[in-house]
Amino acid sequence: MTITNDIFYIGVNDHKSDLFEGQYIIPNGMAYNSYVISDEKIAVMDTVDKNFREEWLANLSEVLSGRKPDYLVVHHMEPDHSANIAAFMELYPEAVIVASAKAFTMMKNFFGTDFEDRKMVVGEGDALELGKHTLTFMTAPMVHWPEVVVSYDSADKVLFSADAFGKFGALDTDEDWACEARRYYFGIVGKYGMQAQILLKKAAGLDIKIICPLHGPVLKENLEYYIGLYNTWSSYSPESEGVAIAYTSVYGHTKEAAELLAEKLTEKGCPKVAVSDLARCDMAEAIEDAFRYNKLVLATTTYNGDIFPFMKEFINHLTESNFQNRTVAFIENGSWAPAAARVMGKMLENSKNLTFAENSVKIMSALSEENRSQIEALAAELAGDK
């Protein structure tokens, strides 16, 4: 795939893995992107996952057409991109690795060597001249590991953005960008909003026409749309008006309450209601919804004096990713000593700028008439409070 006259795509599509990074389902696979800049000097931008070594090397060989690469630029050391560094260096013994100092430390940990005689350490503002193209490096620590750099090619106005602007999904499938980019962002980078904001501020000073991420499609049009979403996500601002309802239910009564609330919210004209059964849904999808909408309802049972395990895991994910700036409401169920609302409140006590709904629902086993009134009142409060 040709990206510009001198920049070529040599990445691969993964339809074999069941989970990405050992935890995220990838129903439409995953892409590990890699690029070649062909100039007076040739730079290869990152490698790919270890299971696709031969395919990647074949793609590279085809683009090289007999020439030898001068540089391997390593933006990120996570193995989905770095696994083939040693194989590349063995195959192309004249090539030099260009990476951050921290990346070379990680190479020693991964490969037993930091390629001492063949390394070029780059940091903020350093440049790599390839001929017509010059790459300028910017550090992007914690987007999504500490060693990350991104690079900007001023000739073709391309940002090589590492994991930023990445998404789940192979490139030979057709799907909406935002849905799987949002799930990827809040699953993988969500904790590091402040660092993503710093990167966006650096990028704002550049004239960018193309974004080449390490996952997902190359972005060539409407860049303001993608950058705008990244700005919203990384600033922890809600993206849309709506209510995410996340629940767990043991015998169906809490589920009934969650679904009744969803029905009432829809009746009252709430623009979007997203309901997740945390025991059965993709947890990353539920996390994505919690960050997408401006209101969140948590409904769970009291369990062993605590809360049901899936809800505990869910709230831990939220707080780990700095959940903030939302309205939160509770529905609790407890047959003899309801404690779930108190436990959930405690888990969220250090989250910034949360507004807790005045109405809550306390179920003592099955829904009572009083519970139905409480749900009606909660729906009115959430639907009215825009």
Contacts with ligand FEO by CB under 6 A lie at: 76, 78, 80-81, 144-145, 163, 214-215
Query: Of 110 and 381, which has the nearer Cβ to ligand FEO?
Result: 110
Query: Of 81 and 253, which has the nearer Cβ to ligand FEO?
Result: 81
In whole angstroms, give the CA distance from residue 23 to residue 3: 32
Backbone angles phi, psi at 26, to 5 degrees: -130, 75
Query: Of 28 and 371, which has the nearer Cβ to ligand FEO?
Result: 28
The nearest distance, CB 214 to ligand FEO, in angstroms, is: 5
Whose CB is nearest to ligand FEO?
78
Query: Of 78 and 288, which has the nearer Cβ to ligand FEO?
Result: 78
305 contacts 340 by C-beta, under 8 angstroms: no
In whole angstroms, give the CA distance from residue 298 to residue 302: 12
The nearest distance, CB 129 to ligand FEO, in angstroms, is: 27
Query: Of 189 and 273, which has the nearer Cβ to ligand FEO?
Result: 189
Query: Of 88 and 330, which has the nearer Cβ to ligand FEO?
Result: 88
The nearest distance, CB 3 to ligand FEO, in angstroms, is: 19
Cα radius of gyration rounded to whole Å, the chain: 24
Closest to 73 (Cα-Cα) out of 93, 96, 90, 105: 96
The nearest distance, CB 328 to ligand FEO, in angstroms, is: 30
Dihedral, 226, 140, 314, 217 alpha carbons, nearest 10? 40
Exposure class string for 216-234: b at 16+ Cβ within 10 A, else e: bbbbeeebeebbebbbbbb
Structure tokens at 256: 């009934």
The nearest distance, CB 375 to ligand FEO, in angstroms, is: 42
Phi-psi region of 94 (alpha: psi -120 to 50; beta: other; left: phi over 0): alpha
The nearest distance, CB 79 to ligand FEO, in angstroms, is: 8
In whole angstroms, give the CA distance from residue 39 to residue 330: 59
CB atoms under 10 Å from CB of 154, counted, come to 14
Query: Of 60 and 162, which has the nearer Cβ to ligand FEO?
Result: 162
Report cis status (omega within 30 of 0) of the bond before 144.
yes
The nearest distance, CB 164 to ligand FEO, in angstroms, is: 10
The nearest distance, CB 174 to ligand FEO, in angstroms, is: 22
Query: Of 22 and 125, which has the nearer Cβ to ligand FEO?
Result: 22
In whole angstroms, give the CA distance from residue 41 to residue 60: 15
DSSP 188-217: IIGGGHHHHHHHHHHHHTS--SEEE-SSSP
